[in-house]
Amino acid sequence: MNSFQSLKLVLLLPELTNDIIEKLKKEDRSDLLNQVQELKIISLCECGDPNCGSFYTIEPSKTENEQLNHEGFRTPLGLIEVFDGEIGFIEIMPSEIGKEIRTKISKALIREER
């Protein structure tokens, strides 16, 4: 798994961040809105699809814990997944936008490793 501990979502993907904020406002979820500005990209989805732009904002192992309360919010690009009140996974369906997001995150990783 590639780690992106210092990649802040709002800095790397501001348009996506705004989409997430708008969706959470529509859902009246101020508890989740308060998290958005501090979200960090932890790792990319490991499905292997080069057009998948999905990524984790918490350690992936936490998202696999079936004992956590899990909820999701549909967006035009995919899904915001929440685990025990914490935004944990942003699903970006395989598409050209997904490919662009994946590429942008991957390039940021290369810069971080230097």
pLDDT at 37 over 90: yes
- Domain-located, residue 1: no
- Bridge partner residues of 56 (DSSP): 43, 89
Query: pLDDT (tens digit, 9 = 90+) per residue, 81-112?
Result: 999 999 999 999 999 999 999 999 999 877 76
pLDDT category, 1, cuts 50, 70, 90? very low
Pairing of strands 43-44, 78-83: unpaired
Nearest to 95, CA basis, from 48, 43, 53: 53
Report the predicted TM-score, pTM, of the whole model to 2 decimal places. 0.89
d(CA 5, CA 22): 25
- Domain-located, residue 98: yes
- Domain-located, residue 31: yes
Number of domain units in the chain: 1
Query: pLDDT (tens digit, 9 = 90+) per residue, 7-30?
Result: 899 999 999 999 999 999 999 999
- Domain-located, residue 106: yes
| 3-state per-residue secondary structure call for 36-82 | HCCCEECEECCCCCCCCCCEECCCHHHHCCCCCCEEEEECCCEEEEE
Residue 36: domain span = 7-113
